[in-house]
Homo-oligomer: A and B are copies of this chain.
């Protein structure tokens, strides 16, 4: 299956998710783990779409998500920062998901610059993350 950039943008406008997970890890120095991830979830019948995305971008993993559903997930900072983000900077999302993408990009940049390891940076990331996804509708 060969994908075109605009098809990917349309599909991600519908099915993609830019998410920043924040969880407590008391054993870690900063007690908090920030985990940006980009995922696309599909019914297992459509695993070939996920594999085609993985092949197109050359990164991420396809795995069982929940029940009959599989996900293609990119978590590696290097891949987010060098592959995924430049793609969606070049090929703009058309839905409001673009707002999530832009916040996601900001978090990845903060983390790349290690600013999230300061109190102020961590606060900034938490503030941005709270406005993403369903948060921006509240």
Q: Provide the residues of chain B in CB contact with A6, threshold 8 Å.
A: 4-7, 10
A: number of interface residues (CB 8 Å): 24
Q: Is the CB of A96 within 8 A of B46?
A: yes
Q: Is the CB of A94 within 8 A of B7?
A: yes
Contact of A94 among B5, B45, B49, B95 (CB under 8 A): B49
Interface centre among A1, A3, A13, A42 (most CB of B within 10 A): A13
Q: Provide the residues of chain B in CB contact with A7, threshold 8 Å.
A: 6-7, 9-10, 13, 94
Q: Is the interface of A mostly helix, strand, loop or mixed?
A: helix
6 contacts between A and B (CB under 8 A): A6-B7, A7-B13, A7-B94, A8-B10, A49-B94, A52-B94
Chain B CB within 8 A of A58 CB: no
CA distance in complex: A53, B96 (Å): 15
Q: How far is the CB of A31 from chain B (nearest CB, A)?
A: 34
Q: How far is the CB of A91 from chain B (nearest CB, A)?
A: 9
